[in-house]
Amino acid sequence: MSLRLGDTAPNFTAQTSQGEINFYDYVGDSWVVLFSHPADYTPVCTTELGKTASLSDEFAKRNVKVIALSVDPVGKHEGWIQDINETQGVEVNFPLIADESKEISNAYGMIHPNASDTLTVRSLFVIAPDKKVKLIISYPASTGRNFQEILRVIDSLQLTAKHSVATPADWQQGEDVVVANSIKTEDIPEKFPKGHRIVKPYLRFTPQPDSE
């Protein structure tokens, strides 16, 4: 059965391009982006891993670790990493899992036989420090992932985990957020002292609580 939002991410031990890891140990107290690729030496995925490496500082400042997966062996990963570093002008500094048995792919629902004849589709999971799955996105092989959107969603997930708010369509850091329906209107001034505006009784906005 495929994972759903709110499920506990399955733990696993695997060989990677950086040695053997236990996934829960790797997560630790961090957020994690786990994403899969149909195979090594594929063009779109080469650009994606390069983009991920180039955003290492952005992930780090959000306390996010990254880990990738394909069903190819570690030796093949190592050669592909060299190509990525060369062609994308980066240094891949996160592990690539070798899931030759497809046990991890199956546990995470990464295999969509009707969508890809290379078995693993390009799925992405954001996992919180409590090991709960917070985001699942699956892309077709022909469409590269938008990593700015992934960073935006992580910002939203981390903000809404700490405050009783939600983020509206196209929200970006520093913009107004929606007051959660669980907060009574009369309680908003005390909980959100920066102010608020009421568009409808169910649609209340307030400045982002943790912005300066």
Kindly state the average pLDDT of the residues 159-186.
96
> Is the confidence at residue 48, as pLDDT, over 90?
yes
Query: In CATH terms, is domain 13-145 a member of 3.90.180.10?
Result: no
User: pTM of this prediction?
Assistant: 0.92
pLDDT score recorded for residue 114: 57
Alpha helices in 98-162 (DSSP H): 103-107, 147-162
- List all residues 6 or more positions away from 119 whose beta carbon is below 8 Å from its beta carbon: 38, 71, 102, 105, 111, 113
Q: Which residues are catalytic?
A: 45
Residue 26, Cα to own-chain centre: how many angstroms? 15
CB count, 10 Å around CB of 59?
22
Cα end-to-end distance, the chain, whole Å:
43
In the prediction, which pLDDT does 98 show?
A: 95
The C-alpha atoms of residue 4 and residue 207 are separated, in whole angstroms, by 31
Dist CA 41 CA 80 (whole Å): 6
* Every domain of the chain and the residues it spans: 13-145, 163-206
CATH of 163-206, one of 3.30.565.10, 3.30.1020.10, 3.40.50.2300, 3.80.10.10: 3.30.1020.10
